[in-house]
Structure 1
Amino acid sequence: MRPQPQWTALDVYASNSDLYADPRLVERVDYRRRFKRHRPRTPSVVLAPHGGGIEVGTSELCLAIAGCHPSTRVPIGQTHDYWMFEGLRTASNDELHVTSSNCDDRMARQLVSGASHALGLHGCTAAAAGLADHDRAVLVGGRDALLRLELLTRLRRAGFHTIDAVDHPILGGYDRANIANRTRGRQGAQLELTTPLRSAMFSENSRPARRHTTTEVFWGFVHACRAALAAREALNN
């Protein structure tokens, strides 16, 4: 039996609904939700459940991998549906973290349940990944073995330190309840990017500046992920 996520007890909120019901929190002050649903629906959906100041850089990656330039929102090619939850505070955004297996946001679940493929974007410390503090790495997990293989292959080809995390006890993304695994086929992929890797993606790593200061590292990562999604979709044709 594969290990199940162990960090739920660290969360302040048991679910997104629990967080939304907290009268102390104000939407668009403490947090916000952003999504795009195309007509007709796209085969893939991109997710950033801990965007904004929670897991820094995942909002910008979500937009770009979904096909929207994070600064201008101009399409950069094929577009995908996307959803993100973002912490907007100047501090203590980690209190807004809801583990992906407990994500019950209505729009997130609608988008994922109607998709064939899903890609969840997350941030982790290098220490949590079992790596040296300076290591720029990405852990690739999730239940979709074909998409995981495409991501591993294309990210490695693009020069990224890429680790198959399917059996990682915490970061493997294998839980069936994980929002990325709630697709029609009950499988998706999850990426965990270490802090040093995400920091290298922006020349100025602040909330107002990140979307305007994306680096070659950022775009190399985005193009590899987009190519992996396109290859996975082609397998269904």
Structure 2
Amino acid sequence: MDDAFFQMPERCLMVDRYKSFNEPAANERLDIDYRIRALDRGSEAVILVPHGGWIEPKTSETAYAIARTDLSFYTFEAIRIGTHGDFHITSHRFDEPTAVGLVGRSWTAVSIHLRRNDGTDMVWLSGHATHLRDAGFEAELNERLSGLD
């Protein structure tokens, strides 16, 4: 894959339009404006994307490639073409029931996000998964987006 595959467009500023999943569920059309794809494989880990489709492009494809046929998978995707932030719900407030259920049944949840290109190949790591970095996975802790809320 070329580097452009993973680059977030410069115009992509994430300002929440919705505070919880109940709001887009009441105001938008499932499978027309947004879609939810989930595969519960009963695995100990789930790979999830709360900002797929037009919100953070290529994250769903990346997560699906990671999950392959082994891990549970979830993505919430904006499919109506529009401003990236139209369907953005900050991750710690993302409460779509299917995602919450998959995370609750899993020992580990890995959420895939796109980050603005800063000229490095560094992966950001947040939350409690510091053991990945300690095991040699090349990543730096993201202090600004801790993933602990």
The TM tier, using the shorter chain, reads: 0.7 to 0.9
- Aligned residue for 2:113, secondary structure, equals strand
* Deviation of the 1:163 alpha carbon: 2.0
For the structure 1 residues 62 and 110, does the alpha-carbon distance in structure 2 shift closer, same or farther, using more than 3 Å as the test?
same
Paired amino acid for 1:17:
N
For the structure 1 residues 138 and 145, does the alpha-carbon distance in structure 2 shift closer, same or farther, using more than 3 Å as the test?
closer
Alpha-carbon displacement from aligned partner over 1:83-132 (angstroms, at most 9, x marks no partner): 11001122213210001111111111111111111100011224xxxxx4
- Aligned equivalent of 2:92, options 101, 111, 123: 101
Q: Say yes or no: does 1:54 pair with 2:55.
A: yes
- Aligned equivalent of 1:32, options 31, 35, 41: 35
Q: Structure 1: how far apart are the matches of 2:81 and 2:23?
A: 22
* Deviation of the 1:11 alpha carbon: 0.8
Q: Say yes or no: does 1:19 pair with 2:27.
A: no
Q: Structure 2: how far apart are the matches of 1:149 and 1:50?
A: 27
- 1 or 2, which has the higher helix percentage? 1
The corresponding residue for 1:42 is 43
- Aligned equivalent of 2:148, options 154, 174, 182: 174
The corresponding residue for 1:135 is 120
* Deviation of the 1:148 alpha carbon: 4.9
Q: Structure 2: how far apart are the matches of 1:55 and 1:94?
A: 9
Structure 1 unaligned blocks of 5 or more: 1-8, 68-74, 127-131, 157-161, 176-237
Percent identity over the alignment?
30
Task: Trace 1:48-197 onto structure 2 (pairs within 5 A).
Answer: 48-67=49-68, 75=69, 79-126=70-117, 132=118, 134-150=119-135, 153-154=136-137, 156=138, 162-165=139-142, 168-169=143-144, 171-175=145-149
Q: Structure 2 length as normaliser, TM-score?
A: 0.82
* Deviation of the 1:57 alpha carbon: 1.3
Paired amino acid for 1:142:
G
Q: Structure 2: how far apart are the matches of 1:136 and 1:30?
A: 33
Paired amino acid for 2:44:
P
Higher Cα Rg: structure 1 or 2? 1
RMSD between aligned alpha carbons? Answer: 1.8
Q: How many residues align?
A: 136
Paired amino acid for 1:35:
A
Conserved? CA contact 1:141–1:148, under 8 Å = no
Q: Structure 1 length as normaliser, TM-score?
A: 0.53
